[in-house]
Amino acid sequence: MQPTPDDVRPAPGAHPGSGWVVVGLDNGGTCNNATVLSDSGEFLVDGLVENESRVKDGPEVAVASLAASFERILDLTGTPRAFVRAVGLDTPGPASADGVISSKGATNFSQAAWRGFDFRRALESRIGLPVVYNNDGNAAALYAHYAFFGADAAQQSSVSAIVGTGLGGGLVEAGRVIRGAAGMAGELGHVHIPMEGLLADGQPVPSCNCGFSGDAESVASLTAIEKNLLPFWLTRFPGHQLAGLDPHMAAKQVRSLGEQGDPLAMEIFEQQAKAIGRLFTIASNFTDPSAYFVGGGVVEATPEFREWFLARVRAHTALRGEQIDVVRFAVVPDLDMAGARGAAIAARTIVLGD
Ligand SMILES: [Zn+2]
């Protein structure tokens, strides 16, 4: 999407006496999205500023495409390169905490040359500026945290569950992403949750692409709908309109059916809400965060459906009385921009050294 002039403001550094900026670059399977964040915490771009990510053409082409995205966002915002202190990069995982793509490869990075590729360092050498890396789930969690808490972000903690093809998200403590020793903290989708009372009578224990059975992603993801939930619930709703359709296409229709109150779809979303609630219950006993965020397709729906889903998640999160009084539940905003914005926030945090 091309930004309109109204979407873009000049960098404060472009004017005498004002400060520095950081750039956020979100690398996805199809597109990169870029943003600029000022030293005062203001985003200079309201919408998406995208170019083709070309990750399928291998690392060299993809790094060049990200560099082009970087140059273009500087042009659009009139930001002199000298004002840029750091660049935040986020990509889909799996990758190390420092942005080395998994040696086993990754869905988005299929070419052999990607295996073990140090994406962060390659971009850093290409553009000659410090690059701070986060996986896309952690970047989105960081943006959700800052968007919700604003000036108070550094004093707060949160957990974000983002329902997409898989279940992503992240943990933020005192305004910073918890990365873990190997970059695997906040892999919420692969946390085991109790299945008793979640599955219907006769429903098989669902399995996840990661090799686990009964983890959060095996219920709360689009893949889970296609492989686990829909095949089972179709046996309970004979003659349903989704029966006989290609499973992948059928899974994508479940949300709009949910918005219309279709009983099969409601069973599926109730199970997903229960899975996320049980995941949040684990979080409540683990890091006891001050906020619980839900994002992704499941809440990019009509306001009524979104509110219903969030209320169901909340109902299935078993909090203690002391927690109920202080915690909040909310939706992850602007998910399409959350990666670039979260990546920029991470870079700004490093520059500020707080
Ligand atoms: Zn898993």
What secondary structure does DSSP assign to 37-74, as a single string?
A: EETTS-BSB-S--EEE--GGG-HHHHHHHHHHHHHHHH
- The pairing of beta strand 328-331 with beta strand 291-296: parallel
Distance from C-alpha of 194 to C-alpha of 18, rounded to nearest angstrom = 53
Nearest Cα neighbor of 170 from 180, 181, 160, 184 is: 160
Residue range 68-82: mean pLDDT, rounded: 96
- What's the 223 CA to ligand 1 centre distance in angstroms? 11
Give the model's confidence band at 110: pLDDT under 50 very low, under 70 low, under 90 confident, else very high.
confident
- What's the 123 CA to ligand 1 centre distance in angstroms? 30
- What's the 216 CA to ligand 1 centre distance in angstroms? 7
Give the pLDDT confidence of 244-277 residue by residue, as tens digits. 999 999 999 999 999 999 999 999 999 999 999 9
Assess contact for 236 and 268: CB atoms under 8 A. Answer: no
- What's the 219 CA to ligand 1 centre distance in angstroms? 10
Tokens of 127: 């553009």
- What's the 279 CA to ligand 1 centre distance in angstroms? 13
Provide, rounded to the nearest whole percent, the portion of the chain with pLDDT above 90.
84
Distance from C-alpha of 137 to C-alpha of 161, rounded to nearest angstrom = 9
In sequence order, which ranges of the chain are alpha helices (DSSP H)? 59-77, 119-127, 136-149, 222-224, 230-236, 247-259, 263-286, 303-315, 321-326, 335-352
Q: pLDDT higher for 280 or 18?
A: 280
- The pairing of beta strand 291-296 with beta strand 158-163: parallel
Give the model's confidence band at 139: pLDDT under 50 very low, under 70 low, under 90 confident, else very high.
very high
- The pairing of beta strand 31-38 with beta strand 21-27: antiparallel
Distance from C-alpha of 36 to C-alpha of 22, rounded to nearest angstrom = 6
Give the model's confidence band at 105: pLDDT under 50 very low, under 70 low, under 90 confident, else very high.
confident
- What's the 239 CA to ligand 1 centre distance in angstroms? 31
- What's the 210 CA to ligand 1 centre distance in angstroms? 4
Q: Tell whether the model's pLDDT for residue 32 goes beyond 90.
A: yes
pLDDT at position 10 is 67
Distance from C-alpha of 244 to C-alpha of 59, rounded to nearest angstrom = 40
10 DSSP assignment: -
Nearest Cα neighbor of 342 from 137, 150, 142 is: 142
Q: Tell whether the model's pLDDT for residue 5 goes beyond 70.
A: no
- What's the 248 CA to ligand 1 centre distance in angstroms? 19
Apex 86 CA angle, 37 and 160, nearest 5: 60
Tokens of 60: 């060299």
- What's the 207 CA to ligand 1 centre distance in angstroms? 8
- What's the 212 CA to ligand 1 centre distance in angstroms? 5
pLDDT at position 16 is 39
Q: What is the mean pLDDT of the chain?
A: 93
- What's the 21 CA to ligand 1 centre distance in angstroms? 38
Which residues, in sequence order, are bridge partners of residue 25?
34, 89
Verify cis geometry, omega within 30 degrees of 0, for the bond prior to 94.
Answer: yes
- What's the 226 CA to ligand 1 centre distance in angstroms? 15
First to last CA, the chain: 34
- What's the 333 CA to ligand 1 centre distance in angstroms? 25
Percent helix, percent strand, percent coil in the chain, to nearest 5? 45, 20, 35
Distance from C-alpha of 298 to C-alpha of 258, rounded to nearest angstrom = 10
- What's the 54 CA to ligand 1 centre distance in angstroms? 28
- What's the 187 CA to ligand 1 centre distance in angstroms? 9
pLDDT at position 17 is 40
Which residues have C-beta under 5 Å from ligand 1, the single-atom ion?
A: 190, 208, 210, 212, 215, 217
